[in-house]
Amino acid sequence: MFVNRIIYKMKFINNKILIIFFLLLLFISKINAQNEAANWVMYPSKFNFNTNPPNVSNQLNDTFVENSTISDKQGNLLLYTNGFNVWNKNFQKVDGGEISSYKHKQITTGGGEYNYVLVPSPSDSNQFYVFGTWYPDIYKGNVVRIYTYAVIDISLNGGLGKIISKNNVIDTNQTTYIAATKHCNNKDYWIVTYRNNSNTFLSILLTKDGVSKTFVESKTSKNANFKLHYFWSDLKISPNGKFISVIGVDGLNKKERLETFLFNNQNGEITTRILNYTDTLIQYNYGGLEFSPDNTKLYFGNTKSEIFQFDLTVVDSNIINASKTKIVTVDNGQSSRMQLAPNNKIYVNGTIKDCIEKPNKKGNECKYTHQVVSVYDYVDFPTLVSSFLNQPAAIEKFCYKDSTTFKVLNAYTYDSIRWDFGDLASNKNYSNDTLAYHIYSNYGLFKGVLHMFKCGSESVYNFKVSISKPAKITFNILKPICINDKPFKLKHALPDSGIYTLNNLEIDSIVPNNIGVGKHLLNYQVVNDSGCVSDDSITIEIKPLPIAKIISSRSPLLCLGDSVIFTTSFSKNYWSTSDSSKSIIVKKAGLFYVSVVDTFGCKNNSDTIKVELKDIPVAKIIASDTLICEGNEFILTATGDGDYKWSNGKISKQIFIKANNSETYKLTVTNYCGNDEDTIKVTVLRTNAKAYPNPVRNKLQVDLSECGGTKQLVELFDESGKLILQFETENKSEKIDMSHFAEGNYLLRVGSNKYSQVFKVQFVN
């Protein structure tokens, strides 16, 4: 068993792992006496409970798992010990060697059997006592254990600390379990242990004069062979010093027994047994126990990894035994060791791995949480003076403009009290009532003080009250929402996330197009962890899209060189031309559009306009020929963009003309940009040839046809048809001398391949 224990411990001692806290940020109003328990050093890390969640930092030291840690009243680490050595706030060993020259069973077995506790000196704030159990020689069987103490002065050795006394024997044959609490005079301390195999508790008083020579022995258990075992047992005093609880085992290590007694914090006596519970022992696992910070609940973890709650509200053994409620079975059969922390939570499994979030609550309302932190498989919790964790009072209701309740727990144990609510701005900042009510003047964090008087001394308890901030809609609406805006998620004021409603429907985002144009009331309600309900509301306005119209200074049909001005009624515009002015000047053809933005910031692509560019008209008459034979038809064709009008009254693009006379024709082309003219002169050519005079006496004048071509043939025949004259000519007229011909009738033929014409000519002499 011991060899296995050594291997098991060395496995995690040499392992380096990053400890990551992800505790949920929950508000807990705590009233603790001091901050002496604010730091836990658990190899290889330090846990600082001055923050929420606790801060974790790795510290390189050779601390074994069993330890005790103590801080000053402001929560600054002072000392920690593993029973071998003592380290100071700088994680350096204090001078003086080991705190005892007696041997540790831990040296040969790997330990797991010891509690050590650091206790402040009642007379000197620089001195601290270490109480623990050691062996007189190397472990050999069942030997006598020596209960001793040492004294450390942190002011010596240049402020690094020094052991000034050690090997101070108190008693022998003690178990390894130790518990400590303040005396009711709020000055001295009780250190309680259990004398093995004797059913006897031993209470030792530490005063300003040192460790008392007189011990208070209380023989309580009536169970035969009731003993404390270094694996399966545990010993705790309630934070208010009223109860003491112990887990023991029978002589055969078959049963584990939980017993709880009343502890007289004034004389150190342990008296009436108020709880007696037996469970089956599962060997080689750890059991544990712990009290709630308000001292009304006891948590018992058996070796089967089950955790039970007992209600101590009514101090009656029958009622307490009957109140047993199972809370949880710890995961994977892990240890159910427990330790109350300064944040009023109970951590479980020796790993700060699991947590009882609200240990003052009854039954499963205590909220057991698995895997709140990732750390080693097993690390022992530090042994602390239980009164450092006392919650003397409870504060409830932290709602803005509502009464906060202040209740002193176990008020009968105090002679008088005085509340200072830390709210000087209020009309009533003080109360002497054990059940008091106060309405805070504002929301936020308030630091108050509870003064409690008993046994002729005063205890001062500092507390913080965080009055919940009223609900507030956290997103900023700088302008009305536009109907075409994208949906957006509604934000929440963490950690108090609330509910948004619109038109009595719960929503998590604004979808403008689904909600519609108009004004809508958005509500936000928050119910925080304290049950405070607060509301906020805001009117959101969803605006329609702006409708823009491009105003044109003239028709968008332009002539070359013209321009047009486009204007909108909005001061903020985004034109397709990249202009952002109210007006633009356009000189070219194209499709122009504008996006307008109204005074609310709503944007819309709302209007387009087309610009066309027209050319100035150019009139042109296209004719196939400007010379035409009389009587023929010809075509005149107009070009140019626009409307056509001819001088003969025709309005078509083409006109057909029959040649009668030579004439000049005019074309007028008219369009949006003006008009233009073109003219053409058409010359009509004579078609028939002429021969004269006829009869002819001397010379015959022959005028050839203008349509006959460039070369024409002239032929003269006598009456018998004999060709008497023939020639080609390019002239338009010829004279034929007939004086040498005989009188008579002749035939004259003129023409070309295009035509021919015959004349009968009479010649007289």
Q: Are 32 and 391 in contact (CB under 8 A)?
A: yes
Confidence (pLDDT) at 761: 92
Cα–Cα distance for residue pair 198/172, rounded to 1 Å: 12
Residue 673 tokens read as 């940009």
Confidence (pLDDT) at 493: 66
Cα–Cα distance for residue pair 692/760, rounded to 1 Å: 11
Confidence (pLDDT) at 38: 93
**Ramachandran assignment for 486, one of left (phi > 0), alpha (psi -120 to 50 degrees), beta (any other):** beta
Q: What is the pLDDT of residues 235-293, one digit of tens each?
A: 999 998 999 999 988 777 788 889 999 999 999 999 999 999 988 887 767 788 999 99
Q: Are 616 and 598 in contact (CB under 8 A)?
A: no
Average pLDDT of the chain is 84
Going by pLDDT thresholds of 50, 70 and 90, the confidence category of residue 737 is very high
Q: Are 390 and 379 in contact (CB under 8 A)?
A: no
* Residue 754 backbone dihedrals phi, psi, to 5 degrees: -85, -35
Confidence (pLDDT) at 85: 86
Give the three-class secondary structure for 280: strand
Hey, which bits of 409-454 come out as E strands?
416-420, 430-431, 435-439, 444-454
Q: What is the pLDDT of residues 93-130, one digit of tens each?
A: 999 888 877 655 443 333 345 678 999 999 999 999 99
Contacts of 142 (CB under 8 A, 6+ apart): none
Neighbours of 392 (CB within 10 A): 25
Residue 363 tokens read as 């039954």
Q: How far is CA 369 from the centre of its chain?
A: 25
Residue 241 tokens read as 């010093």
**Pick from 463, 373, 388, 529: nearest CA to 55:** 373
Cα–Cα distance for residue pair 595/576, rounded to 1 Å: 8
**Ramachandran assignment for 601, one of left (phi > 0), alpha (psi -120 to 50 degrees), beta (any other):** left
Q: CA-based angle 401:406:412, to the nearest 5?
A: 160
Cα–Cα distance for residue pair 289/387, rounded to 1 Å: 16
Residue 56 tokens read as 């974790």
Give the three-class secondary structure for 109: helix
pLDDT at 567 over 50: yes
Whole-model pTM above 0.85? no
Q: How far is CA 163 from the centre of its chain?
A: 52
Strands 627-629 and 603-614: unpaired
Q: Are 630 and 601 in contact (CB under 8 A)?
A: no
Residue 483 tokens read as 């109907």
Least confident interval from 91-105, 290-304, 500-514, 644-658: 91-105
Looking at per-residue pLDDT, the higher value among 298 and 634 belongs to 298
Residue 83 tokens read as 């029973």
Q: How far is CA 622 from the centre of its chain?
A: 79
pLDDT at 479 over 90: no
Least confident interval from 132-136, 400-404, 568-572, 723-727: 132-136
**Ramachandran assignment for 451, one of left (phi > 0), alpha (psi -120 to 50 degrees), beta (any other):** beta
pLDDT at 321 over 90: yes
Confidence (pLDDT) at 139: 46
How many residues does this entry show for the chain? 765
Give the percent of the chain with pLDDT over 70.
86
pLDDT at 173 over 80: no
Cα–Cα distance for residue pair 654/632, rounded to 1 Å: 17
Question: What average pLDDT does the segment 680-709 reach?
Answer: 88
The alpha carbon torsion through 122, 126, 132, 135 (nearest 10 deg) reads -130
Give the percent of the chain with pLDDT over 90.
45
Confidence (pLDDT) at 57: 79
Confidence (pLDDT) at 734: 92
The alpha carbon torsion through 373, 375, 381, 386 (nearest 10 deg) reads -20
Confidence (pLDDT) at 20: 26
Cα–Cα distance for residue pair 454/410, rounded to 1 Å: 12
Residue 273 tokens read as 């047994």
Contacts of 138 (CB under 8 A, 6+ apart): 103, 107, 108
Confidence (pLDDT) at 33: 47
Confidence (pLDDT) at 14: 33
Cα–Cα distance for residue pair 183/266, rounded to 1 Å: 6
Cα–Cα distance for residue pair 478/600, rounded to 1 Å: 9
As separate numbers, helices (DSSP H) first and strands (DSSP E) second, the chain gives: 5, 65
Contacts of 321 (CB under 8 A, 6+ apart): 275, 276, 277, 310
Q: Which of 282-291, 383-392, 432-441, 507-516 has maximum average pLDDT?
A: 432-441
Confidence (pLDDT) at 18: 27
Confidence (pLDDT) at 84: 80
Give the three-class secondary structure for 630: coil
pLDDT at 314 over 50: yes
